[in-house]
Structure 1
Amino acid sequence: MSLRRAEVSDVPALAALFGADPVSAARGDSGEGDLTDYERAFAAVDADPRHLLVVAVEDEGPVVGTLQLSFLPGLARRGAWRGQIEAVQVAASQQGRGVGAWMVGWAVDESRRRGCGLVQLTSATERVDAHRFYERLGFTASHVGFKLTF
């Protein structure tokens, strides 16, 4: 298993990962059809040095996982930078094999390496299993999040 920076050629596999996830699918990620929106978003993320979109692959095989790691400056906490983990997805065939823990561990290490004072993430309220997973990795449910969707 290896982790590498995502490439535009990975976009169909990434869209399929999101589309296979029931929570993401309920929000409009079908993983099928026109990939223009995914490609546009990929280009923006890939062009910004404060964002890393990575994929997990098994022996140069297909994409089996992904996450986005963003580096956010802030004034709070005496100007501490934050590592923000987003969009963690692991193929159903790989769940329970340590891929997610390995990817999140990499993100934590990379955040430390870049001088971040903390790593944070959000998880939808209905993802109870994911909450237990993040708690096993040492994260604490320390805040309540709010969204305004357009």
Structure 2
Amino acid sequence: MSDLKIRAAGVDDLSEIVAMLADDPLGAGRESPDDLAPYRAAFQRLAEDPNQHLMVAVRTGRIVGTLQLTVIPGLSRRGSTRSVVEGVRIHADERGSGLGTRMIQWAVDESRRQDCQLVQLTSDATRADAHHFYERLGFVASHVGFKLAL
């Protein structure tokens, strides 16, 4: 993996990022790779917020993974700062290669660098393989998550 680079995403990376977001049964039903306008607007909001880190993994000039890391200052846990990992996707050709581990390790290291005391993430209840992956990396399924669509 010496040829791998994890870097901040640029607006020119959006089509490849969205394609990875759409490349699974859940993403296929909620992403729109043919219309990048809403993703460009979202990217602009992310780019303006210093607590948002949209990252891509690049190997030999090709984007092969992505994730978003959000740093959240808070009052709970004695004023702890936490980070949230979202939108983790690995290109189909790279799954099982160790890239996911490398990207999550980047997120954990960056969280430490930013003085976070907790790294958290959610994973859809149907993604059993992802749950096992995160548990192997030391994450604990400690909470029940709730969502309200608006």
Give the superposition deviation at 1:100.
0.7
Q: Provide TM-score, normalisation by structure 2.
A: 0.95
Instruction: Pick the aligned partner of 2:23 from 14, 20, 41.
Output: 20
The equivalent of 2:50 in structure 1 is 49
The equivalent of 1:5 in structure 2 is 8
Q: Provide TM-score, normalisation by structure 1.
A: 0.95
The equivalent of 2:82 in structure 1 is 82
Post-superposition, which runs of at least 4 consecutive aligned residues in structure 1 deviate over 3 A? none
* 1:68 partnered with 2:95: no
Structure 1: runs of 5 or more not aligned:
none
Give the superposition deviation at 1:5.
0.3
The equivalent of 1:58 in structure 2 is 59
Partners of 2:31 and 2:108 in 1: CA distance:
27
Indicate the percent of aligned positions where both proteins have the same amino acid.
Answer: 51
> Cα RMSD (Å) of the superposition?
0.8
Write out per-residue CA displacement over residues 65-113 of structure 1, whole angstroms, 9 at most, x where no aligned residue: 0000000011110010001100000011000001111000000000011
Partner SS for 1:41 = helix
Partners of 2:97 and 2:66 in 1: CA distance:
15
Partners of 2:138 and 2:149 in 1: CA distance:
29
Q: How many residues align?
A: 147
The equivalent of 2:32 in structure 1 is 30
